[in-house]
Amino acid sequence: MASHKELAKQVVDKIGGAQNVDQAWHCVTRLRFNLNDKDKVEIEDIKKLNGVMGAQFSGDQFQVIIGNQVSDVFAEVEPLVGGSGSSEGKNSGEKQGVLSLVMDFISGIFTPILPALAGAGLLKGFNALFLTVGWLTEESPTYMVLNAIGDSVFYFLPFFLAVSTARKMRTNEYLALIVAGTLMYPTFAEALAGEQTSIDFLGWGFINIPLIDYNTSVIPIILSVILLKYVYDLVKKVIPSAIQLMFAPMITFLIVLPLSLWLIGPLGTTIGNFVSDIFNWLFDFSGLFAGLLLAGLMPLIIMTGMHYAFAPIAITSIAALGYDNMVMPMMFISNAAQAGAALGVAVVTRNAQMKQLGLSSGISAAIGITEPAMYGVNMKLKKPFVLAMISAGLIGAFAGWYGLKAYTMSGIVGVFALPVFADPTGESASFLVATILFILAIVLPFILVLIFRFKDVEDDTIHAKEETTKPETKQAEVGKETMVQSPLKGHIVPLSEVSDPTFAQEIMGKGIAIEPEENRVVAPVTGSIMVFPDSQHAIGIKGDNGEEILIHIGIDTVSLKGEHFNGLINEGDRVEVGQTLVEFDRDAIRAKDIPTVTMILVTNTADYLDVLPMNNSGEIFEGEHLLTLVK
Selection from 573, 338, 352 nearest residue 449 by Cα:
338
Q: Is pLDDT above 70 for 171? A: yes
Q: Is pLDDT above 80 for 228? A: yes
Confidence band (pLDDT; 50, 70, 90) for 331? very high
> Residue 467: its pLDDT value, please?
42
Say if CB 322 and CB 338 are below 8 A apart: no
481-630 and 4-90 share a CATH fold? no
Average pLDDT, the chain: 83
> Residue 472: its pLDDT value, please?
38
Cα within 13 Å of Cα(287), Cβ side: 18
Q: Which residues contact 390 (CB under 8 A, 6 or more apart)?
A: 296, 445, 448
Q: 93-126: b or e for each residue (b if 16 or more CB lie within 10 Å)?
A: eeebeeebeebbbbbbbbbbbbebbbebbbbbbb
How many CB atoms are located within 10 Å of the residue 230 CB?
13
Distance CA 239, CA 250 (A): 11
Q: Per-residue pLDDT averaged across 566-583, rounded? A: 92
Residues 65-106: pLDDT tens digits? 887 677 788 888 888 886 443 333 344 444 455 666 676 677
Q: Which residues contact 136 (CB under 8 A, 6 or more apart)?
A: 127, 130, 142, 143, 146
Distance CA 110, CA 326 (A): 18
Confidence band (pLDDT; 50, 70, 90) for 542? very high
Phi, psi of 247 (to 5 degrees): -85, -30
How many CB atoms are located within 10 Å of the residue 289 CB?
14
Distances (CA, A) of 420 to 348, 370, 397, 424: 34, 19, 20, 9
Q: Per-residue pLDDT averaged across 318-332, rounded? A: 85
What is the chain's Cα-based Rg?
28
Strands 520-522 and 565-567 turn out to be unpaired
Q: Is pLDDT above 70 for 230? A: yes
The residue from 4, 26, 27, 537 that is catalytic is 27
Distance CA 488, CA 90 (A): 31
How many CB atoms are located within 10 Å of the residue 353 CB?
14
Q: Which residues pair with 611 in a beta bridge?
A: 629
Q: What angle do CA 120, 112, 400 make, to 5 degrees?
A: 60
Lowest mean pLDDT: which of 329-343, 451-465, 502-516, 592-606? 451-465
Residue 268, sorted as left (phi over 0), alpha (psi -120 to 50) or beta, turns out to be alpha
Q: Per-residue pLDDT averaged across 344-355, rounded? A: 88
Say if CB 20 and CB 483 are below 8 A apart: no
Q: Is pLDDT above 50 for 569? A: yes
Confidence band (pLDDT; 50, 70, 90) for 612? confident
Is the domain covering 481-630 a CATH 3.20.20.100 domain? Answer: no
> Residue 416: its pLDDT value, please?
86
Distance CA 295, CA 325 (A): 12
Going by the DSSP 8-state scheme, the letter that residue 38 receives in this structure is: G
> Residue 392: its pLDDT value, please?
95
Q: Is pLDDT above 60 for 473? A: no
Distance CA 423, CA 212 (A): 26
Q: Which residue has the higher pLDDT, 425 or 386?
A: 386
Confidence band (pLDDT; 50, 70, 90) for 327? confident
Note if 307 is an active site residue: no
Distance CA 174, CA 225 (A): 11
4-90: CATH homologous superfamily? Glucose permease domain IIB (3.30.1360.60)
Q: Is pLDDT above 80 for 160? A: yes
Q: Per-residue pLDDT averaged across 271-275, rounded? A: 79
Top-ranked range on mean pLDDT: pick from 74-88, 177-191, 608-622: 177-191
Strands 527-531 and 574-575 turn out to be antiparallel
Residues 384-404: pLDDT tens digits? 999 999 999 999 999 999 999
The residue from 4, 307, 537, 552 that is catalytic is 552
Report helix angle 157-169 to 173-183, nearest 10: 150
> Residue 499: its pLDDT value, please?
85
Say if CB 117 and CB 27 are below 8 A apart: no
Selection from 408, 306, 416, 434 nearest residue 368 by Cα:
416
> Residue 282: its pLDDT value, please?
77
Distance CA 155, CA 216 (A): 5
Say if CB 165 and CB 225 are below 8 A apart: yes
Domain ranges of the chain: 4-90, 114-284, 286-474, 481-630
Counting every residue written for the chain, the total comes to 631
Note if 625 is an active site residue: no
Phi, psi of 411 (to 5 degrees): -60, -40
Amino acid symbol at 510: K
Say if CB 336 and CB 366 are below 8 A apart: yes
Say if CB 208 and CB 263 are below 8 A apart: no
Q: Per-residue pLDDT averaged across 162-167, rounded? A: 91
> Residue 249: its pLDDT value, please?
92
Say if CB 16 and CB 37 are below 8 A apart: yes
Q: Which residues contact 354 (CB under 8 A, 6 or more apart)?
A: 345, 346, 377, 456, 457, 462
Selection from 626, 526, 627, 625 nearest residue 581 by Cα:
526
